[in-house]
Amino acid sequence: MISHPATATPPAAPVFPQPYRVVSSRAETADTVTIELVNESAPLAGFAPGQFAMLTAYGIGEVPISLSAVETTAEGRTRRLTHTVRSVGAVTRALHDAGPGAVVGVRGPFGTPWDLAAATGRDVVIVAGGIGLAPVRPLVHAVLDDPARYGALVVLVGARTPAELLYPADLSGWAREGAHVGVTVDRPAAGWTGHVGVVPALIPQARFDARRAVAFVCGPEIMMRYTAEALVARGVAADRVQISLERTMRCGCGWCGHCQLGPLLVCRDGPVVPYGRAASLLTVREL
């Protein structure tokens, strides 16, 4: 009809979740697992690091989860999705408990990816707090896989306690491959000899050249804010600091309204945004 031609509308979104099968589930901490999901017959379009999938526990609900590793087919489809999931509610508990063979629904890819191309020829500073290490993990892999393209790689990680530190074997492996890895915890345990304190405190001494650095930050909002401020204070331009925002999401397509942060629809304009775009929003309470 003329008043609203059907052909004028953009393509329908992926509303129906694509079934993926859990092929492995590995416990990371007391409440966190890393699951690998595979669909051989009809894989989704390729995900880029920083983007997220909406994961469905059938009959329970759906949550947005970033990728902690990605394996793409020759055709650019996503054969294997790796998600690190912390059990904090009904849906994430079901995903946490989904063992090999279980079917999980997947929609995506959604959101903005990390802009790793902006780091070509520059030092790469990756700062993560808690489960925020999961969405930046593919970045570490990408930089280590192509070291000639980048300058120094600095990975700074904070966790509440040593027992809640994600991927401890990866961290030492990354250090062996040449990354400068710094780890700090809020509350040490017996035998802990590393840093104690918040992760922004590691930034002043970290080995990178602020004038030629690009930073990727993911963690609790307060941690990202103070980390970004520390990076800017050291001389990193605000728009060379990328952060990954988190808000409630129901659709991933910009229709449900839940993920607003001021002018941003986080599912569409984020989750990855330049700090310069979000800085004034992060200082307003309850925005």
Partner 1 sequence: MASQTEPHTLTPAPALLDAAALPALFGALEARGYTVMGPTVRDGAIVIAELSSAAELPYGWGVDTEAGRYRLRRRADEAAFGHSAGPQSWKNVLHPARAKLWSADRTPDGSMVGGEPEHGRRFALLGVRPCDLAAIAVLDRVLTGGRYADPVYAGRRDGNLVIAVECTEPGAVCFCASMGTGPHADARFDLAMTEMLDGGQHRFLIRAGTPAGAEILAELPARAAGDDDVAHAAGAVAGAATRMTRSMPADGLPELLTASRESPHWDDVASRCLTCGNCTMVCPTCFCTTTEDVTDLTGDHAERWRRWDSCFDLDFTHLHGGNVRSSGQARYRQWITHKLGTWHDQFGSSGCVGCGRCIAWCPAGIDITREVAALSALRPAGDAADDGTGR
Pick the stretch among 12-20, 70-78, 162-170, 189-197 that binds partner 1 (CB under 8 A): 12-20
Q: Which of 142, 158, 170 is nearest to 198 (CA)?
A: 158
The reply to whether 222 sits near partner 1 by the rule CB under 8 A is: no
> How far does the chain reach from its first CA to its final CA, in angstroms?
41
Binding-site string for partner 1 from residue 231 to residue 250, where x marks contact by CB under 8 A and - marks none: ---------------xxx-x
Burial class (CB in 10 A: 0-12, 13-18, 19+), 214: buried
Q: According to CB under 8 A, which residues from 128 to 187 bind partner 1? A: none
Tally of CB atoms within 10 A around 200: 23
Shortest Å, Cβ 92 to partner 1: 8
Taking a C-beta distance cutoff of 8 angstroms, is the pair 78, 47 a contact? yes
State how far the Cα of 154 lies from the Cα of 206, in Å rounded to an integer: 7
Binding-site string for partner 1 from residue 43 to residue 72, where x marks contact by CB under 8 A and - marks none: -------------xxxxxxx----------
Tell which one of 74, 189, 190, 284 touches partner 1 (CB under 8 A).
284
Shortest Å, Cβ 57 to partner 1: 8
Tell which one of 24, 25, 29, 260 touches partner 1 (CB under 8 A).
260
Place of tokens 């590691």: 202
State how far the Cα of 248 lies from the Cα of 187, in Å rounded to an integer: 29
**Phi, psi at residue 207, to the nearest 5°?**
-90, 80
Q: According to CB under 8 A, which residues from 80 to 99 bind partner 1? A: 86, 88-89
Find the length of the chain.
287
The reply to whether 42 sits near partner 1 by the rule CB under 8 A is: no
Shortest Å, Cβ 176 to partner 1: 33
Shortest Å, Cβ 81 to partner 1: 16
Q: Which of 64, 10, 72 is nearest to 44 (CA)?
A: 72
Place of tokens 């993911």: 218
Token code pair at residue 58: 């059938």
Shortest Å, Cβ 91 to partner 1: 9
Q: How many residues bind partner 1 (CB under 8 A)?
A: 49
Positions that interact with partner 1 (CB under 8 A): 1-4, 6, 9-13, 15-17, 19, 21, 56-62, 86, 88-89, 101-103, 105, 246-248, 250-251, 253-258, 260, 262-263, 265, 268, 284-287
